[in-house]
Structure 1
Amino acid sequence: MTILVINNKGQYNHRIQRSLQYLKIPTELVPNTLSIEEIEAKNPIGLILGGGPSIEGAGNSEEYIKHFDIPILGICLGHQLIAKAYGGQIDTSNTESYAKVEINIVNDENLFSGLAPKMEVWSSHKDEVKSIPDDFEILANSNLCDVESFKHTEKDVYGIQFHPEVHHTPKGSTIFENFYEICKKRCNND
């Protein structure tokens, strides 16, 4: 029942794992260089793709997105990698964002359950998703970023541009709890 946190070398990747541990969610932080077989051997019920400084340093993360049919949550760079893997467009943000931001939750099912209609989050990014892939829908936006969060319409694949793992996102733990519920539900249905 473990969720693997894929370390994409971002400043908050260890914080993601720590946040899950505080919530008593079984987790392991692993490097993004593990092979598909090494990830499979760990038998995760979900993956969280952490942030990082660049797509070039994302290791095998895009392969994980394409290969695994388990719930996936991408945070910051992980969010952008999901968009890229499915054919969306990422580019430099019009406004680099390193601040508290209020997001508008437009779909509060699953990942944002209990959090609508607005949520204060910590934003720390210079790139963003400019257009979502086919088969995805926007879950949240803000005045700084049109795609703060999205979801695949048929799969349990989610992306969030902001950082739920830091204390500047007061209700970030709810997102992790909701993702864990998605993972457990999926695991019980398979």
Structure 2
Amino acid sequence: MTILVINNKGQYNHRIQRSLQYLKIPTELVPNTLSIEEIEAKNPIGLILGGGPSIEGAGNSEEYIKHFDIPILGICLGHQLIAKAYGGQIDTSNTESYAKVEINIVNDKNLFSGLAPKMEVWSSHKDEVKSIPDDFEILANSNLCDVESFKHTEKDVYGIQFHPEVHHTPKGSTIFENFYEICKKRCNND
């Protein structure tokens, strides 16, 4: 019943793991260089793709996205990798963001359950998803970013541009708890 946090070498990857541990969610931080077979051997119920400095340093993360049929949550770079893997467009943000931002939650089912209509989050990025892939829907936006969060319409694949693991996102733990519920529900239905 473990969620694997894929370390994409961002400054917050260890904090993601610690946040899950504080919530008593079974987790393991693993490098993004593991093979598909090594990930499969760990039998995770979900993957969290952490942030990182660039797509070029994301190791095998993009391969994991399309291979695994388990819930996946991409955070910051992980969000962008999901968009790229499914054919969305990523580009430099018009407004590089390193600040608290208020997002508008347009779909409060599953990942954002109990959080609508607005949420304060910590945004730290210079690239962003400019257009979502086919078969995805926007879950949240802000005045700085049109795609703060999205979800695949048929799969439990989610992306968020912001960082729920930092104290500047006061209700970030709810995002992790909701994702864990999605993972457990999926695991129990398989």
TM-score range, shorter chain: over 0.9
Note the C-alpha offset of 1:2.
0.1
Note the C-alpha offset of 1:111.
0.0
The alignment covers a number of residue pairs equal to 190
Note the C-alpha offset of 1:37.
0.2
Q: Distance in 1 between matches of 2:90 and 2:165?
A: 23
Note the C-alpha offset of 1:127.
0.0
Q: Distance in 2 between matches of 1:175 and 1:131?
A: 23
Alignment of 1:37-76 (within 5 A): 37-76=37-76
Q: Distance in 2 between matches of 1:37 and 1:17?
A: 22
Note the C-alpha offset of 1:186.
0.1
2:104 paired residue number: 104
2:139 paired residue number: 139
TM-score under structure 2 length normalisation: 1.00
Note the C-alpha offset of 1:91.
0.3
Note the C-alpha offset of 1:166.
0.2
Note the C-alpha offset of 1:115.
0.0
Note the C-alpha offset of 1:165.
0.3
Deviation per residue, 1:54-102 (Å, 9 max, x gap): 0000000000001000000000000000000000000000000000000
Deviation per residue, 1:89-148 (Å, 9 max, x gap): 000000000000000000000000000000000000000000000000000000000000
Moved over 4 A (4+): none
Q: Distance in 1 between matches of 2:69 and 2:93?
A: 30
Q: Distance in 2 between matches of 1:143 and 1:12?
A: 24
Percentage of matched positions with identical amino acids: 99
Q: Distance in 2 between matches of 1:99 and 1:92?
A: 17
2:127 paired residue number: 127
